[in-house]
Amino acid sequence: MTTSTFPLRVVGAAVAAVAVVVAATACSSADDNPGEGSGGGTYAIWDPYPQFTDDSAWVKLLESCGTSAGVTVERTGYDTTDLTNKALLAAQQDNSPDVLIIDNPVISTLAQAGALTTTEENKLDTSAMEPNLLGAGQVDGKTYGVPIGANTLALYYNKDLLAKAGVDVASVRDWASLTGALAKVKGAGKKGITFSAIGTEEGSFQFLPWFWGSGAQLTALDSPQAVAALALWADWLGQGYAPNSVINNTQTTSWQEFASGDYAFSENGTWQLANAEKLDFEYGVIPIPASSGGTAPAPTGGEFVSIPVQGDTGRYAASQKLVACLTSADNLLTTDTTLSYIAPVAAVQAKQVAADAKLTVWVDAVKAAKGRTGDNLGTKYPKISEPLWNAVQAALSGAKKPQEALSAAQASAAGAIR
């Protein structure tokens, strides 16, 4: 995955969950080849990877799976927001693609709209998938697709800068020790930590590890634990451990700050690994610590491979073969390496680590991660996330105290939470 597409995917997914669908139409092959079932024909696959061209490894894999299923694949790549809108519109018009690869927070929206079949209906095997990753595609006990991979957040750190500040990164195990490290860095004349707290889903995405790491729940935005998490960030700005620019930072601009070499830590994701190898200094990665120690649950990014509802149910047999092929262990290893994803299957994760030991921390982070729409929040999540990012903005700008900001957020989200 390119570094430019993941932030768009994170931002677009939850926001698009409540967007009005666009008035454009896209054609599925379902109308072109009615009733052909698994006996051949053209099958449409839509994905959120427009950066991959027809000669890419990804498209070659899709074509190979089509050959295995005995069909021809017609693939279209959209950016995430556009894909969500087109998928909703296509479902209304009974013109859906045969296979849809969609960002995990959108699953609940499409499921609620009656646009997706369940894995049970199409006999898709999810038994090897990690439960915490599979949970992002589950609504009311039903699973609406198979995860193709996941990414999440951790803390990159500048080895040279920490060494000069006298910080042993192994000592950073909880919020207190991390804050102590930031104080040492500032005392050495350097800058502490950068992250994204922008007033969009991207800001909520980056705040959630601290929110969840405090023990807070999305149904109680103003709990003492949630207030402690927001106070941590606000205190970092107040002490000069984090820059005021975080209020407007995207994950991309936050990374650019870290890449300058002036910051000890950066909260960012697996999608920056290729850029990390180009840094002018040695870097390392540690999990985001929970308040009292251990790894904080970070939100999962990544897509599910789903089978949309079709008027011609005879098409499902070939669609099932396509999904099974795309999510097989052998193909997941290749695909997740290409996408900078961690595999959703433990055995494939082990192969990834064997091939690149630097992925160990990311595998651990993914194992501790959770879906934003999990806990059966589903389509309620966007109505909770927006008040949350507004509270972060208010507290970090100094407009409100953390408690006041989160109390307002809870009041705003109350209708969705009930």
The DSSP H or E segment spanning 51 is none
370's tokens: 């959770």
The amino acid present at 182, given as its one-letter code, is L
Cβ atoms of residues 264 and 181 within 8 Å = yes
16's tokens: 């698009």
The amino acid present at 184, given as its one-letter code, is K
Task: List phi, psi (to 5°) of 231.
Answer: -65, -35
Chain Cα centroid distance, residue 182? 27
Please count the other Cβ atoms lying within 10 Å of the Cβ belonging to residue 76: 15
In sequence order, what DSSP letters do the residues of 352-389 get, joined into one string?
HHHH-GGGHHHHHHHHH-B-TTTTTTGGGHHHHHHHHH
Cβ atoms of residues 396 and 237 within 8 Å = yes
**Which of 27-63 are b and which e, b meaning 16 or more Cβ less than 10 Å from the residue's Cβ?**
ebbbeebeebbbeebbbbbbbbbeebeeeeebbebbe
| Residue 213 buriedness (CB in 10 A; 0-12 / 13-18 / 19+) | buried
DSSP letter assigned to residue 3:
T
Cβ atoms of residues 38 and 70 within 8 Å = yes
Q: How far apart are CA 74 and CA 287, in angstroms?
A: 40
**To which residue do tokens 């139409």 refer?**
25
For the chain, residues classed under CATH 3.40.190.10 are 5-151+302-368, 153-298+377-417
The CATH homologous superfamily to which domain 5-151+302-368 belongs is Periplasmic binding protein-like II (3.40.190.10)
Q: Can you give the pLDDT at residue 100?
A: 98
Q: How far apart are CA 193 and CA 32, in angstroms?
A: 54
pLDDT per residue over 294-326, tens digit each?
999 999 999 999 999 999 999 999 999 999 999
First to last CA, the chain: 37
DSSP letter assigned to residue 116:
B
Q: Can you give the pLDDT at residue 39?
A: 61
The domain made up of 153-298+377-417 is a member of CATH 2.60.120.560: no
What is the chain's pLDDT, residue by residue, as a tens digit (418 residues)? 333 333 333 333 333 333 322 222 223 333 344 334 446 899 999 999 999 999 999 999 999 999 999 999 999 999 888 999 999 999 999 999 999 999 999 999 999 999 999 999 999 999 999 999 999 999 999 999 999 999 999 999 999 999 999 999 999 999 999 999 999 999 999 999 999 999 999 999 999 999 999 999 999 999 999 999 999 999 999 999 999 999 999 999 999 999 999 999 999 999 999 999 999 999 999 999 999 999 999 999 999 999 999 999 999 999 999 999 999 999 999 889 888 899 999 999 999 999 999 999 999 999 999 999 988 899 999 999 999 999 999 999 999 999 999 999 999 999 877 7
**Which of 221-237 are b and which e, b meaning 16 or more Cβ less than 10 Å from the residue's Cβ?**
bbbeebbbbbbbbbebb
> Comparing C-alpha atoms, which of 183, 365, 212 is closest to residue 285?
365
**To which residue do tokens 């009292």 refer?**
292
Full-model pTM? 0.85
> Comparing C-alpha atoms, which of 218, 236, 193 is closest to residue 406?
218
pLDDT per residue over 11-67, tens digit each?
333 333 333 222 222 233 333 443 344 468 999 999 999 999 999 999 999 999 999
Per the document, the length of the chain is 418
123's tokens: 């006999």
* Contacts within 8 Å (CB) and 24+ apart, 72-75: 72/40, 72/41, 72/42, 72/43, 73/42, 73/43, 73/45, 73/322, 74/29, 74/42, 74/43, 74/44, 74/45, 75/44, 75/45, 75/46, 75/47
